[in-house]
Each structure stands twice: as structure tokens, then as C-alpha cells.
Structure 1
Amino acid sequence: MSDPLADLQNTDELCREAEAAVAEHGKPHIEAVADAHDRATRLLNRYEGKATGTGDFKSFVEFQGQFADLVESLPDDVPARESFERAEDVTDKRRLSESDFDRIRTILQPARETASLLEERREATERYRDARHAVATRITELEERIDDLDRLQELGDADLDAPTDELREPIETADEAISSAFRAFKHDSTARELVRFLTATEQYPLIEFDAPPDELRTYLLENDVGEKSVPKLLELARYSRSKLGHYVDNPVELKRAVATNETYLDRLDAEPLLIGWPPAPANELRWWCEEAIRIADRFAPPEAVARLRDVQQLTYDDRFDALRTAAQARAELTDEEHDRLARGAVEDELQQARERKAELSDALSSYPER
């Protein structure tokens, strides 16, 4: 893998050389040479086949005249003017051969090189910008790496003997209580009540239930079939249209609204209201519980909601985050990571990453945008 800093240094040098070459002649003069070289090339390509040997004499004369006019129109101070004058000298004869045209192209080589200076500067600038972008990208990668190593260090400092069950048991109790309550709610309530519940959760940004598809929401709110439970609704959706006609007025509408959203209804569960293990940091979990309690209070029995309040109260315990970090360390650290932490390898990697990031950041500040 190439070194982004070395690439930046090299492309900066190439850029400066290309800029100096353009500055030496001046952009207007280089553009004039480029235009003249293009015109000369078009003349050579147009007349080479018919102004050579014993070909069309009229074409030969036209070529001589137009090439002479081109050279005459050039300013005296245009770069590489001498190349055009020498090329014109080659045309000043009674008959031209193919080798004469080749010779003219060779003589015009300095003009072509001068004309290419602007394109070379553009390409050098583009490579420089790419190199600078690569340095910025590497800095971002190093920042992410530093964050990962910082987190690894934090987990390595955790007390693996800490009594994490003081958090785990209340959290698992709350999750089980809410899961059970939601299953009962989904089984026993009407589909319309469920849709209204899901719609109400949209005002709580920390609790992310998937919103009901618009067609399903409208259908269940506006039709009598919305008074049926979700299990019964799914059962109806699996009926054939002829059988379904005995239960609803418009089987096609039910199929379109419900059957197409069967997966959504099947998978709907309490997951957005579950705390999980290990939990979020205390300050995040505290606010999450505030919203979860308000939502759970819409369908869960008081004893289930009380379990969420128990967890919320734990977030005020000064030991919460230390216990959480210990739980994360137990759950996430591999044997290889334990070994790297014990050997001090993580600390060494962290120091190297920080030093390299500082070096690249300094370079990015030193090399301006172009």
C-alpha cells in the first residue's frame, strides 16, 4: 500500500513544477501555441495524401499558402515560434513527399510539448487533489481506529469480577414482562387498536416501531374488519377469495391491504421496547426508559410497567456505568484481545495511531487546496 503522505509530497512537487512551467511562458502564450499546433496538425492531416509526390498541384499550393499564413499570424514572442518557421521552411520546395510531412511533425514537437503544459498542469493538480483526499480519508480511518482502541482500553480496564447480575436480572425481568405483555396485547386487541397504538408511538423518537404501511393503516381504521384481532385477520387473509367472500364485503380489498403486509404483521413484536444486554449508558437508558414507560403503559399491566421503572431507577446508581462496562467486557472481549491488552499492544497501537493522525493532520494543514 502506498504511503499517502509520500504521495502528497510527490504530487505537490509535480504540481509546483507544472505551475512553474506554465508561469514561465504565460497561459495566453501557451494557449496561442496550442491553437497554432492544432491548426498545423489539421493542415498536415488534410493535405498529406493529396499534396505529396505527383498529386494534386492545387492542393500543394493551398497547403503551402495556408501553412505560411498560419506562421505569419503568430506573434513574434509566442513560444516555439521558431519551430513553426523551420516547419514552413520544409514546405518551401517544388514538391513534397510523405517524409517531408513526417519531418514537419518532428520539427513541431517543441510546439506540441509547449501546448501540452496546460494539460500537464491540470493532470498534476488532479493527482495532487486525489493525494490530498487520500490523506483526509486516512485521517478519518485513524480517528475510527483510535475510537475503537480507546473503547478496547476502556473494556480492558473493567472489573471483570463486578456484580453485573445487579443489572442483568432486573433488565431481563423487565424485558420478559414487556415481551409477554405485548404478545397478549397483539393477540387480544383488535387490529384497529394495534394500529392506533403504533401510530401513537411515532411521537416518541427513542422507541422505533416500524410504522404501519399507509394502505394497511387506512384499511383497518376505516373498515369493520379492523375490529378483528390480528391472528384472525391473518387467518382471513390466507383464505381464498371465494371463501373470504363469506366474511367480508370486499375480499380483493382485504387481500390487497392485509395479505401483502402479512410479513409486517407476523414480525411485529416488543423488540423496540426491550432493553437488551449489555444495556445502553445510564444517561441514554434513563431517557429511553422514560419514553418506554409511557408507551408500555398503553398496553401492559401495571406490574410489567413497574419493571421498567425499576430499571430506570438503576440508572441513577453511581455504579451503573462501571457495571455496564464490566458486562460489555465479558460479552465482547475475545481471548486475543485480552492477550493484546495484557501485553500492552493495544496501548502501543493507540499511541502509534495518534502520532500518525497528528502527522497527517499537520501535513493536510501545510499543503493547501488547489
Structure 2
Amino acid sequence: MTVERIDLVRVGLPLVTPFRTSFGVQTVRDALLVHVRGREAEGWGECVTPASPVYSEEYTDGAMHVLADELVPRLLAPGRSVRAEDVGLRLAGIKGHRMAKAALESAVLDAQLRAADRPLAAYLGATRDRVPAGVSVGIPDGGVPELLELVAGYLQAGYVRIKAKVARGADVQPMQALRSRFGASLRLQVDANAGYDPDARADVAALDGLDELGLVQIEQPFGPDRLLAHARHAARWRTPVCLDESVTDAARAVEALELRACRIVNVKPGRVGGPLESVRVHDACRDRGVPVWCGGMLETGVGRALNVAIAAMPGFELPGDTSASDRYFAEDVTEPFVLQDGHVAVPQGPGIGRTPRDEPLKAAERHRVDPLGS
């Protein structure tokens, strides 16, 4: 595919409710979209960095800089012709910045598949035309009463799994309240976002308490580099440990599994460096009989389209964070994803099957950069 222009489009979308985790509160999704314009077709990708480096070292200002000054020039240095399968190799000289690389690879792949009139799901080998949708619930300011109300609403809407964020002081009691209110049939899992210290007695005691509640999984209790600590406690707990932040590529996934640091892996395309590395993580886990699921980063419809297609692959055995668009935004920049019977439809159009709509994109746009100066 011949690239003629690449735009970096910064957008801001207010969240319908504040989203609190162990590392802070978000009220606006500060998103960075990558728009590749090729001679044959156009494509879109989403950089899932948060506004500040709280989830990992990456953040949106830094992603804009590295995309404009390093990644885009390096990608196109040999010429304007590029394939998605070559993006990783061309950018390998730049260390880290997986979310920025993922956005660029995703946009090139979208354009490439649109030019071929081929859906992303077919390219990935997806086997389903819809995927079960879970929902991620932040830590509400209103405490347990508000949490119970939120979860009741999501269950009534049809979501098939609840993932609740937990943090020190907001863990065992609220999860016990959910169990008491909704019973053992509730598919409930927790996400600590690496917020607990494996060497702190109080932290371990809280996690032990969560282990008594019949959860689907405990996601990323400790820091990303604490694989041995995860392995040590995973051996004690009945609840499967799932790793998120620790798994940065397929090699890291294999290492974690060989250490028995987890029994489930959360696959996020941005975190592992793009859709192609997501497939490699999926393959490594599937070869070892380990279930995977697709996490989310409060994506707009651009990033959500990629996630939904990935979640339709065989091996994604657990419901992901593939919520409907109205879970997060009053108006998405693309045609919204809609929850139907607890599922979200996999886009069947060429590429990712979603394109930003002119008016919502214009309303949300905050800044635009053309790294090529074209």
C-alpha cells in the first residue's frame, strides 16, 4: 500500500460516568487517532495511551511526539510503500512505545484490508459474528450502594460478566456485597491494576479475602515485573490469576506461563504492540491450553472495532471488555457498538468496519498533526 499522508488526531470525549481505578479517576477519554491515507484506501487506528503515565510508561503527549518525530518517519524511510506485516520490523529500532506502534500498525492494516475489500475479522481468522460482552466497573464515589446500583443496571442491560476495579480499602467488602446481592451465579472478576504489594501483609490478606468469593479471576494484583510473586501466590489461591500489564508481547506471555504466574491472559492490542502481536500472544496461549480474553482501554469506536474482531478469534474463551459504546460515551466518533442479548456484533465491512463520522469527529477534535508535512 502506498501512503500519501498520515494525520495524528487528538480527540476528547466526555465519559458518561467517571471511571475510577487504583491509579486515579478519568472523566474524559483523551484519545489519539491515527489516520493513514493511502493511494488505494484510507485506514484508522487508535493509540490507547492514557493522558498520564499511570497504566504504563506511555502517555498521550509522549505518543504524539514519538509518532510524529520517530515512528512515522522511520516507517516511511524506505519509501511510501508499506504493508502492515512490515510495520513491526521497520519500527524495531525504537524501544518500547508499544501503544504508539500499535496505533500505526492498526491504521496501516485497516487501509490495507479496505483496499482488498476484506474484513479484519476474516484476516484474523475469527470464527464468530458476535462476541459476549462484559463490562468494567470503576470504583464509585458513592461506595457500596452506588456499586450495587451500577451493577444491577449493567446486568439488566444484558452484560454477561462484571469486572470490578479494586484498590486498597475498596476490595473485599464491596465484592462481598456484590456476592450477597447477586448470588453465586454472578460472573464476577476483579482487576487490581497492579495496585497491591506482594510483600505487605495487609495487601496479601485482602487478596486472600477476595480468593474466598468464587471469582472468575483476579487480574494483575501485583506490579508488572513481579512474575515470581504472582507465581507464588497463584499457587496458593483457588481463583485463577490473570495477567494484564505484565504481558507485553508473546515472549513475555510464554515466560509468565512457564513460571505459572497466571492461568489466564488478558490480550490488549495496544499493550502488546498491535494486532499482529496480539495474534502471536493468542497463539502462544492457545498452544498451551490457556484461555485469553480481550481487555479494553476506554476506546472509541475505532479501537473498539479492533478489539471486537480480535475477541471473535478461537481461543478467546472468556467475555472481554467489549462493552457497547454507550457504556462510555453519549456519542462515539464512529457508528456506535450496540449490546444485543449480551453480545456485540463483529463488524463485517472492509478493514475494521468502522470509520469516524465527520460531525462527531469534528466536535471531539482537539488537535491535529501531519508528521509528513504534506
Which structure shows the bigger proportion of residues in helix conformation?
Answer: 1
Q: TM-score, normalised by structure 2?
A: 0.21
Q: Which has the higher strand share?
A: 2
TM-score by length of 1: 0.21
